[in-house]
Amino acid sequence: MELLYIWIKDYKNIQNQGFNFSPRWWFEYDVISGILNIDDIIEDVIGDFFGNNIANVTAIIGENGVGKSNLFEFILSKLKDKTGFWDDEFIIIFKDSNKGKIWLHEDLEFFLSYDNKNEFDFEVNSFKMQERDEFGVRGGFNSPNEIDSLQLIYITDAFEGNVKYGGLVNRNFIDMSTDRLVNSSRELSNQLQIKENVFKYEEIKRQAKFLGYFATNLDSVQDIIIPDYLEITSSFRQILKNISAFQKENRNSILLEDERSIIDYFQNKPIYDQVYCELVLSAIYEAMITSSVGEQAFKYFVEKISLLKNDEGYEFIDMGEKIYLISYTEILKFVKSLQDNDRIKIDKGHNSFALPMENVGEFFTTIDSIGYQGRNPFLRYDWQYANAYKYGKLSTGEKALVNLFSRLFVLRH
């Protein structure tokens, strides 16, 4: 099976654009007229150039940020799922044995323009997810087909600290990326997970030192575009699950109502309240793993929330003198300082905020001083530019360069 062409209506920075992957055919789709032109150029192709076992090799080349990674992401996000879950408007064409297969979204206008001079047929199929509601997706193309049996292997050595293609539906999709392999190691032990999270945290700190140095010491760096912000995203629910799992593994008691009271209290609170909750829970989680005070601290945290749950006058929970070896006061002071920074951008829809570059160094210094040390895997970090908050993040190539040069920079200094 060989991928020949894909056309995408709208995905991130890709709009109404087609991509050819075949040396034999040239495809071009016009979204206005709905005409798909197919030109068979077999006379210009060297047969079996890569041998019998490799149908084709395609290199995707372009400047940083033009959408190379987005194209891969789109293809993988579709082909890893079964066709019954497709609902984006796109066209995919591939060769299966001695026949071409065209799959397109039902809402797209479509007319085929093809001079079949070499007697190679193309079969046309349509797809559309029939229903979407609060329970998920329903309907769609559910009968067995060749795309659902397509086998894919995804390999990359880029390390971003999170798995892009989780929750796989198609078991023929194999993710061998560094992110997947590292995250899979979580099953081994809690201690290994801590080491992994420290590695992620130290990686972003190295990048902050590197980028901060160039932002403040050099007037012009042609090859390095300095980001304007560090986006920080919170997900306190996930660390609650980890606390529950840890206590169950160690045969300690934890009630579902305790989790629910924390979630209910912080659910619709501002992002800074959620970050405070997450930092406290991270400290509690570390205390559970390393000492006997963690469960006491967790119970006290739940107790305070139960008292404040119906009082909207409290922005944060002051833990008072009950410290349990955890720096509640420092955490409270730190998060309030974030709240007072009027240059911070808040993205309520994604539970995240963007920290200006000049405050990033202070952020990590303070995080380290309260003993956080990056052990929380649920605060996620991503560099971004000021000119496009939604899609202004570093490209995959830029991330790889920043990763490489930040390590060299730290070694040098």
Residue 189 is predicted with a pLDDT of: 44
> What pLDDT, on the 0 to 100 scale, is given for residue 391?
47
Name the more confident of 29 and 277: 29
Tens-digit pLDDT profile for residues 226-246: 888 898 888 777 778 777 777
pTM: 0.65
Output the pLDDT for position 389: 44
Q: Residues of the chain with pLDDT > 90: what percent?
A: 13
The whole-chain average pLDDT of the chain stands at 77
The per-residue pLDDT for 183 is: 67
Amino acid (1-letter code) at residue 216: T
pLDDT of residue 253: 57
Pick the residue with more confidence: 377 or 77?
77
Give the pLDDT of residue 390: 45
For 314-325, what is the mean pLDDT? 66
What is the mean predicted confidence (pLDDT) over 6-35? 94
188-229 pLDDT, tens digit per residue, is 444 445 556 677 788 888 899 888 887 776 655 556 678 888
37 versus 217: the higher-pLDDT residue is 37
Residue 320 confidence class, pLDDT cut points 50, 70, 90 = low
Rounded-to-integer distance, Cα 238 and Cα 278, Å: 9
At residue 18, does pLDDT exceed 90?
yes
> What pLDDT is stored for residue 83 in this prediction?
65
At 357-380, the pLDDT tens digits run 888 888 888 887 776 554 555 678
pLDDT tier at 256 (50, 70, 90 boundaries)?
A: low
Task: Identify the weakest region by mean pLDDT among 32-36, 79-83, 236-240.
Answer: 79-83
Q: Which of 42-46, 138-142, 225-229 has the lowest mean pLDDT?
A: 138-142
The pLDDT of residue 162 is above 70: no
Q: With a cut of 60, say whether residue 86 has pLDDT above it.
A: yes
Residue that wins the pLDDT comparison between 121 and 166: 121
> Average pLDDT, stretch 2-13?
92
pLDDT higher than 80, residue 257 = no
Q: What is the mean pLDDT of residues 368-397?
A: 68
Per mean pLDDT, which range of 21-25, 26-30, 197-201 is the poorest?
A: 197-201
**Range with lowest mean pLDDT among 48-62, 124-138, 309-323, 378-392:** 309-323
> What local confidence, expressed as pLDDT, does residue 337 receive?
87
**Residue 13 above 80 pLDDT?**
yes
- Residue 276 is predicted with a pLDDT of 86
More confident residue, 34 or 66: 34
Residue 311 has pLDDT above 50, yes or no: yes
Q: Could you state, in order of their start, the residue ranges of all structural domains in the chain?
A: 2-150, 190-412
